[in-house]
């Protein structure tokens, strides 16, 4: 591994970047948003499976890349809904992955995987067809070691807290188990109510029933629905939650009257509502979530702009989360106006927005965050969580907002072993960017040192109001 990776090649800037990097490299990891399964920590004896499961079948970044090169999901060992035969030998899946490993050159997955192989597993060979089985053996041997248990990795990685993402109707049993154990890791739930506040979610009526059960509030109308949601938010908060999280394709957020919302809710209980009505209700519910955030202080996260299950034939055969979620164009200035006019000036409200549409960085999101006190910008997300993606974000956003209206870094991953490398990319790219500002005379070294710490650690912690 190149110790100066992601640093500028000019000696002046590189020297400053190195210096700044030393001040942040050992800071704890703050992980306010991600998708690691809490089960990994609930079971003290949890072990990861084989290398194929760890690196391929559980990582939809890797899966979609292999798929786009013509390698069917079955061959990757992904089970289909119609139970057609799939590859079950992890060694064969690993071999195919290795045979095609060149496709990851220059991609963030390539960067992460190389660094994980080297730093976490001590692999010194390049992965390719010839080395595949040998590397498979090396990884397998290590996975059985106790230091590869999730709780040990959490400690080794020096994680300060890690937020998971949990359905609003989840019992949080795994979180309960963690809290009841003697382990001191801070695994915090995040309230994700998509399946109940989106009236057109699959099995919505069923989900409302579950909502009644878990909240012990009999949801029979819009009023009891809101009560049950408030109840669940309180429970999540009591279980350590600091935030809610929301997925919406287009952030069109116009509130409805209580009367109209009630009518649509009643209609939904009786059967499906049309697309247009659903969109209005769902948008309205986000403004209700904002209202509740003003009350309970949970930070509201908005992940906007993903068209889910775009590849319909593949979705029919394999279900969701197999790489077929694709970005669409976004408009924020007009769409967020009703919400921001209501709550954007309120000191209790905090909204963190993540975008897949980078054209909105300078045009809409930075100016909005540079005006409304409640709004912060989340870091580059998903496709844009990359060396260049972070650079673009910094260059496009910071001149308008400064760094202090951004929410620091969040790794947003389900892959626990990848936490350190993801934070490392962010830290390296940010210190190099700060070094560039110093060399150009925009900030001085004193400012740069303070900002390096802030970007590596404080911003994320402060953005999520996590000051234990």
Please, which of residues 395-424 interact with its own copies by CB under 8 A? 395-396, 398-405
Size of the site for its own copies (CB under 8 A): 91
Q: Looking at beta carbons only, is 112 or 136 nearer to its own copies?
A: 112
The least CB distance from residue 90 to its own copies, in Å, is 23
Tallying the residues shown for the chain, one arrives at 468
Residue 451 binds its own copies, judged by CB under 8 A: yes
Q: Tell me the per-residue interface mask from 201 to 240 with its own copies, x by CB under 8 A, - otherwise.
A: ----------------------------------------
The least CB distance from residue 211 to its own copies, in Å, is 32
What is the SS3 assignment for 303? strand
Please, what sign has the CA dihedral across residues 441, 443, 446, 451?
A: negative
Tokens read off for 346: 């309120």
Helix residue spans in 297-323 (DSSP H): 312-318
Residue 445 binds its own copies, judged by CB under 8 A: no
Q: Site for its own copies (CB under 8 A): which residue of 21, 67, 426, 457?
A: 67
**What residues between 373 and 392 interact with its own copies by CB under 8 A?**
373, 375, 383-384, 386-389
Residue 59 binds its own copies, judged by CB under 8 A: no
The residue range among 5-13, 87-95, 197-205, 237-245 that interacts with its own copies, by the rule CB under 8 A, is 5-13
Tokens read off for 447: 């400012």
First to last CA, the chain: 36
Q: Which helix (H) or strand (E) holds 201?
A: none
Residue 104 binds its own copies, judged by CB under 8 A: yes
The residue range among 91-99, 195-203, 210-218, 435-443 that interacts with its own copies, by the rule CB under 8 A, is 435-443
Q: Site for its own copies (CB under 8 A): which residue of 26, 45, 70, 257?
A: 70
Instruction: Evaluate whether 287 touches 338 at the Cβ level (below 8 Å).
Output: yes
d(CA 44, CA 29): 21
Instruction: Evaluate whether 223 touches 262 at the Cβ level (below 8 Å).
Output: yes
**What residues between 177 and 196 interact with its own copies by CB under 8 A?**
none
Please, what sign has the CA dihedral across residues 47, 53, 55, 59?
A: negative
The residue range among 75-83, 162-170, 407-415, 441-449 that interacts with its own copies, by the rule CB under 8 A, is 441-449
Q: How many separate helices (H) and strands (E) can be counted in the chain?
A: 22, 11
Q: Looking at beta carbons only, is 148 or 433 nearer to its own copies?
A: 433
Q: Residue 358 has what DSSP assignment? A: T
The least CB distance from residue 417 to its own copies, in Å, is 20
Q: Looking at beta carbons only, is 22 or 203 nearer to its own copies?
A: 22
Residue 86 binds its own copies, judged by CB under 8 A: no
Q: Which helix (H) or strand (E) holds 341?
A: helix 337-343
The residue range among 102-110, 221-229, 269-277, 409-417 that interacts with its own copies, by the rule CB under 8 A, is 102-110
The residue range among 259-267, 286-294, 394-402, 416-424 that interacts with its own copies, by the rule CB under 8 A, is 394-402
- The sheet carrying 299-304 orders its strands as 166-167, 191-192, 243-248, 299-304, 351-355, 375-377
**What residues between 332 and 361 interact with its own copies by CB under 8 A?**
333-334, 337, 340-341, 344-345, 347, 356-359
d(CA 242, CA 463): 10
Residue 294 binds its own copies, judged by CB under 8 A: no
Instruction: List the beta strands (DSSP E) in 356-442.
Output: 375-377
Residue from 455, 460, 347, 340 nearest 403 by CA: 455
Residues 6+ apart with CB under 8 A from 55: 62, 97, 113
Residue 111 binds its own copies, judged by CB under 8 A: yes
Q: Site for its own copies (CB under 8 A): which residue of 34, 51, 108, 189?
A: 108
Residue 25 binds its own copies, judged by CB under 8 A: no
Instruction: Tell me the backbone φ, ψ of residue 285, rounded to 5 degrees.
Output: -65, -30
What is the SS3 assignment for 224? helix
The least CB distance from residue 360 to its own copies, in Å, is 8
The residue range among 25-33, 63-71, 90-98, 459-467 that interacts with its own copies, by the rule CB under 8 A, is 63-71
**What residues between 114 and 133 interact with its own copies by CB under 8 A?**
126
d(CA 290, CA 194): 14
Q: Looking at beta carbons only, is 169 or 449 nearer to its own copies?
A: 449
Residue 293 binds its own copies, judged by CB under 8 A: no
């Amino acid at each position: 591994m190149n110790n100066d990776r992601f640093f500028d090649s000019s000696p002046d800037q590189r020297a400053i970047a190195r210096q700044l990097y030393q001040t942040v490299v050992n800071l704890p990891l703050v992980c306010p948003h991600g998708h690691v399964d809490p089960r990994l920590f609930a079971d003290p004896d949890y072990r990861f499976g084989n290398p194929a499961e760890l690196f391929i079948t559980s990582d939809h970044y890797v899966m979609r890349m292999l798929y786009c090169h013509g390698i069917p999901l079955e061959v990757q060992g992904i089970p289909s809904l119609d139970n057609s035969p799939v590859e079950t030998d992890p060694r064969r899946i690993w071999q195919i992955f290795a045979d095609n490993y060149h496709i990851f050159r220059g991609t963030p997955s390539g960067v992460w995987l190389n660094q994980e192989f080297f730093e976490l597993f001590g692999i010194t060979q390049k992965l390719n067809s010839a080395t595949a089985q040998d590397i498979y053996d090396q990884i397998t041997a290590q996975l059985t070691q106790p230091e590869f248990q999730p709780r040990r990795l959490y400690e080794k990685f020096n994680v300060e807290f890690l937020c998971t993402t949990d359905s609003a109707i989840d019992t949080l049993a795994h979180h309960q188990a963690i809290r009841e154990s003697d382990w001191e890791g801070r695994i915090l739930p995040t309230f994700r109510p998509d399946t109940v506040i989106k009236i057109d979610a699959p099995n919505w009526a069923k989900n409302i029933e579950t909502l009644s059960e878990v909240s012990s509030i009999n949801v029979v109308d819009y009023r009891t629905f809101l009560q049950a949601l408030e109840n669940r938010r309180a429970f999540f908060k009591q279980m350590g939650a600091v935030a809610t999280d929301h997925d919406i394709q287009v952030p069109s957020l116009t509130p409805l009257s209580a009367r109209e919302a009630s009518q649509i809710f009643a209609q939904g209980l009786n059967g499906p509502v049309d697309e247009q009505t659903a969109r209005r209700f769902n948008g309205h519910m986000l403004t209700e979530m904002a209202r509740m955030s003003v009350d309970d202080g949970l930070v509201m996260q908005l992940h906007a702009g993903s068209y889910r299950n775009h590849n319909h034939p593949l979705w029919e055969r394999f279900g969701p989360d197999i790489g077929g979620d694709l970005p669409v164009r976004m408009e924020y200035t007009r769409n967020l106006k009703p919400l921001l006019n209501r709550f954007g000036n309120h000191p209790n409200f905090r909204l963190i927005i993540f975008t897949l549409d980078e054209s909105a960085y300078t045009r809409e999101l930075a100016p909005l965050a540079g005006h409304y006190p409640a709004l912060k910008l989340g870091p580059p997300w998903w496709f844009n969580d990359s060396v260049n993606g972070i650079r673009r974000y910094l260059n496009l956003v910071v001149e308008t907002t400064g760094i202090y209206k951004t929410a620091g870094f969040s790794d947003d991953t389900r892959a626990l072993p990848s936490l350190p490398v993801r934070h490392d990319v962010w830290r390296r790219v940010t210190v190099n960017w700060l070094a560039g500002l110093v060399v150009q005379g925009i900030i001085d070294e004193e400012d740069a040192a303070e900002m390096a710490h802030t970007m590596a650690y404080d911003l994320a912690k402060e953005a999520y109001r996590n000051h234990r």
